[in-house]
Amino acid sequence: MMRRFLAFLFCVILTPAVLAHPAPDGFADLAERLSPAVVNISAAQRLDSGNGLPEFPEGSPLERFNDIFGDAPRIANSLGSGFIIDPEGLVVTNNHVIDGADEVEVSLPDGRVFAADVVGIDPVTDLAVLRMQVNEPLPSVAFGDSDTARVGDWVIAIGNPFGLGGTLTAGVVSARGREAGGRYDDYIQTDVAINTGNSGGPLFNMSGDVIGVNTLILSPTGASVGISLSIPSNIATRVVDQLIEFGETRRGWLGVSVHRVTAELAESFELDTPHGAIVSRVEEGGPADAAGLRQGDLVLRFDGRRVRDSQSFPRMVAESEIGREVEIEIIRRDRPMTLDITIGELEEEGGAGAPEDEDNDGVVDPTPGNGNTILGMTLGVLDAPARRRYRVDPDAVGVLVTEVDPASDAAGKIRPGDVVEEVEFTRVETVADIREIVSGHGGGPIRFQINRGGQYVLQSIRP
Give the pLDDT of residue 189. 96
Give the pLDDT of residue 14. 45
How far apart are alpha carbons 99 and 76 in whole angstroms? Answer: 11
From the candidates 35, 146, 174, 199, give the one annotated as an active-site residue: 199
Mean of the per-residue pLDDT values of the chain: 84
From the candidates 42, 96, 409, 418, give the one annotated as an active-site residue: 96
Give the pLDDT of residue 454. 83
Confidence band, pLDDT 50/70/90 cuts, at residue 81: very high
Across 31-48, average pLDDT:
88
Across 69-97, average pLDDT:
82
Please say if the pLDDT value at position 140 is more than 70: yes
From the candidates 126, 191, 209, 297, give the one annotated as an active-site residue: 126
Please say if the pLDDT value at position 120 is more than 90: yes
Q: Is 199 tagged catalytic?
A: yes
Per-residue pLDDT reduced to its tens digit, 387-429:
888 888 888 899 999 999 988 999 989 999 999 999 988 999 8
Confidence band, pLDDT 50/70/90 cuts, at residue 232: very high
Give the pLDDT of residue 391. 86
Please say if the pLDDT value at position 108 is more than 80: yes
Across 265-270, average pLDDT:
90
Between 441 and 181, residue with greater pLDDT: 441
Q: Is 96 tagged catalytic?
A: yes
Q: Is 126 tagged catalytic?
A: yes
Give the pLDDT of residue 286. 93
